[in-house]
Amino acid sequence: MVPEMSEASRSRMLDVARAAVVRAAQVTRAVQHDLDRVKVVTKDDRSPVTVADYAAQAVVAHWLQQELGPVRLVGEEHAAALRTDDHAALRRLVVEAVAPVWPEVDEAALLDAIDLGTQDPDAAGFWTLDPVDGTKGFLRGGQYAVSLAWVVDGAVELGALACPNLDPDPAHDLTTPGRGLLAVAARGEGARQAELRADAELAPLAPPGPSSDTIRTCESVEAGHSDHGANAKILEAAGLVAAPVRLDSQAKYLVVARGQADAYLRLPSTKGYVEKIWDHAAGALVATEAGRVVSDFSGRALDFGHGRRLEENRGILAAHPEHHARLLAAIRKLGFG
């Protein structure tokens, strides 16, 4: 049995998580605004997201350790390649990217911080991080997220989600970069949101109720990431007319949580693909605590207690309870569950 954490400890950990993703987002924003220079230095069109991934993971790991002491972090990145002589230029760029929020950083400290994320999950509690969720969105100047969550005994207890290109105004066009949005959640305590600034005041995330039979659905931009054809069949079987909202990353969970879209469906297009925990942990908690229902295509809750992947789940469905029930019934009818 995992011992319960005090309310004060939970609050403190959530404050630290919020500060960590805000700092990381400051770094990723700067890299995204400087894509061309990074590409020239490294002669690699994908290197900007690599710089941002490494830098954001280092910033979050360093901040967690500084504020909370020794931590268990399950991250997406490791520094093995970055330590080699072949990647000296890339390593210098990462240090340069991190320096504004971690002035005393040097290469050794940077590499060690990144490698804090190579630890294994533990039922007693661990952090999981996606430093740049939505690689293609990041590279095209679109939506992406920095996602950090605290997981205990297979359930997400705390989540902090920074979406640097979402806007606090729900009427803002999702295809146009906004001012940045932060959402945080604690299990059983609701979700809150604020503009993506360290000093912004958090407000309860209270989305509107369901719309009519014409709904807005979130999908991945790339058809290769999710089966758009399956989604269309599900919506038709549910008797729902959909206007797709296509964007990258866990920003989709936040868009559904805020009522800017009514549902998020994700059925991987690659047979045998298993979702990674850091791709869903924080976003799923934010949506759940905002009153949405999040499950797999069988109606089961997402289970984060099986290592680095959601081994017991297939498909993702996040929606208002009314729409979730209709969509899940359609999924079962079509045999996708």
The question of whether 135 is a catalytic residue gets the answer: yes
Say whether both 234 and 184 belong to one domain.
no
Q: Residues 28, 50, 53, 128: which is the catalytic one? A: 53
pTM of the predicted structure, to 2 decimals: 0.94
Residue 21's pLDDT is 98
Say whether both 254 and 276 belong to one domain.
yes
Q: What angle do CA 147, 336, 331 make, to 5 degrees?
A: 85
The answer to whether the CB of 315 falls within 8 A of the CB of 331 is yes
DSSP sequence for 214-240: EEEEEE-SSTTTS-HHHHHHHHHHTT-
Nearest-angstrom CA–CA distance, 209 and 269:
31
Q: Which residues contact 75 (CB under 8 A, 6 or more apart)?
A: 57, 60, 61, 114, 116, 117, 118, 128, 129, 130, 131, 278
The question of whether 214 is a catalytic residue gets the answer: no
3-state secondary structure of 49: helix
3-state secondary structure of 138: helix
Say whether both 252 and 104 belong to one domain.
no
pLDDT tens-digit map of 44-87: 666 677 899 999 999 999 999 999 999 999 998 999 989 999 88
Asked whether residue 2 is assigned to any structural domain, the reply reads: no
Residue 215's pLDDT is 87
Domain that holds residue 68: 7-204
Number of domains in the chain: 2
Asked whether residue 140 is assigned to any structural domain, the reply reads: yes
> Residue with structure tokens 């969105």?
137
Please report, as a single letter, which amino acid is at residue 164.
P
3-state secondary structure of 37: helix
pLDDT tens-digit map of 196-238: 999 999 999 987 766 667 888 987 776 555 566 888 899 999 9
Portion of the chain with pLDDT greater than 90, in percent = 75
3-state secondary structure of 247: coil
Say whether both 168 and 75 belong to one domain.
yes
Question: Among 59, 52, 49, 53, which Cα is nearest to 113's?
Answer: 59
Q: Residues 135, 217, 227, 262: which is the catalytic one? A: 135
Say whether both 197 and 232 belong to one domain.
no
Of the pLDDT bands very low, low, confident and very high (cuts 50, 70, 90), residue 244 is confident
Asked whether residue 91 is assigned to any structural domain, the reply reads: yes
Residue 332's pLDDT is 95
